[in-house]
Amino acid sequence: MPRYKLIVEYDGAPFCGWQRQAEDLTVQEVIETAVHRFSGETVRLTCAGRTDAGVHAIHQVAHLDLAKEWRTDTVRDAINAHVRPHPVAIVNAEIVSPDFDARHRAIRRHYRYRIFNRRSPPAIVRAQVWHVPWPLDAGLMQEAGRRLLGRHDFSAFRAAECQAASPIRTLEQMGIETRTMGLHEEIVVATSARSFLHHQVRFMVGTLMLAGCGRISANDVADILASGDRSRCGPMAPAQGLTFVGVDYEPPFGK
């Protein structure tokens, strides 16, 4: 029974997240339905990171097993044909060894958050960014972000409904980049870790936004982290600004 690794891209706006649910439409359901339509098989997809409602992906990784061995380009193109008109695309499909697991073999996950920073709201990219109309200082955000790097108890940046057994996580990257685009700036927050708590990235970005407008300092961010008190962190940044951009795997599975 061959195992297929899929690279998946999707616009999260119309979906209630990745994971299949009883009533609401999800990315997993759309792809599993498409696989059944072309192959006649009922499959269960496993993904690298189960994104929340409204969150996008440009390099989600998933795997599935099929009884019949199909050409990989056939798997890719057939799923893409049957997911229409939903905004989901299989970018690549390949056969991998049976011990590859999209979730459990992952050693690092990468997210990007986009803040659209100008007084006027966006017209073109409004479904992919967080519009912050007051000025932000990316340097202050970067200084504050450095206080979050390393292994910590991230309870202050954890959703109340988070089911993780432990709040301890190691944040490996927290990069802030400013991009000038026409008459506006985008502030892009790039972050990486082996795994994240539920809503951790969005709570961190909301807190860094407060640092960027001078309402809190880098030392305040460190104090919030140390407190473990979620009521002290910033607002949860909206889902549409967040994109799952990649995942790394342990050898020999590569990227």
pLDDT for 197 equals: 96
Res 255 pLDDT > 70:
no
pLDDT for 172 equals: 97
Class for domain 3-104, per CATH? alpha beta
Q: In the numeric block, which tokens belong to residue 178?
A: 């400013």
pLDDT (tens digit, 9 = 90+) per residue, 71-128?
999 999 999 999 999 999 999 999 999 999 999 999 999 999 999 999 999 999 999 9
Cα Rg of the chain (Å, integer)? 19
Share of the chain above pLDDT 90, in %: 90
- Catalytic (active site) residue 52: yes
Tell me the CA distances in angstroms from 175 to 43, 136, 139, 142, 149, one per residue in order.
38, 15, 11, 7, 10
Residue whose C-alpha is closest to residue 184's, from 112, 130, 127, 240: 130
Strand pairing class (130-131; 106-117): parallel
Residue type, 63: H
pLDDT for 217 equals: 97
pLDDT, averaged across the chain = 94
Read off the pTM.
0.94
Binned at pLDDT 50, 70 and 90, residue 15 comes out as very high
Which of 11, 24, 52, 153 is catalytic? The answer is 52
Which residue intervals of the chain bear CATH 3.30.70.660?
106-247
Class for domain 106-247, per CATH? alpha beta
Residue type, 104: H
Which residue intervals of the chain bear CATH 3.30.70.580?
3-104
pLDDT for 252 equals: 73
pLDDT for 162 equals: 87
Q: What does residue 89 show for φ and ψ, rounded to 5 degrees?
A: -140, 135
Residues 6+ apart with CB under 8 A from 108: 172, 192, 193, 194, 247, 248
What sign has the CA pseudo-torsion 141, 147, 152, 157? negative
User: What 3-state class would DSSP assign to 31?
Assistant: helix
pLDDT (tens digit, 9 = 90+) per residue, 147-198?
999 999 999 999 988 888 999 999 999 999 998 877 778 999 999 999 999 9
Residues 6+ apart with CB under 8 A from 103: 46, 47, 48, 49
Residue type, 54: G
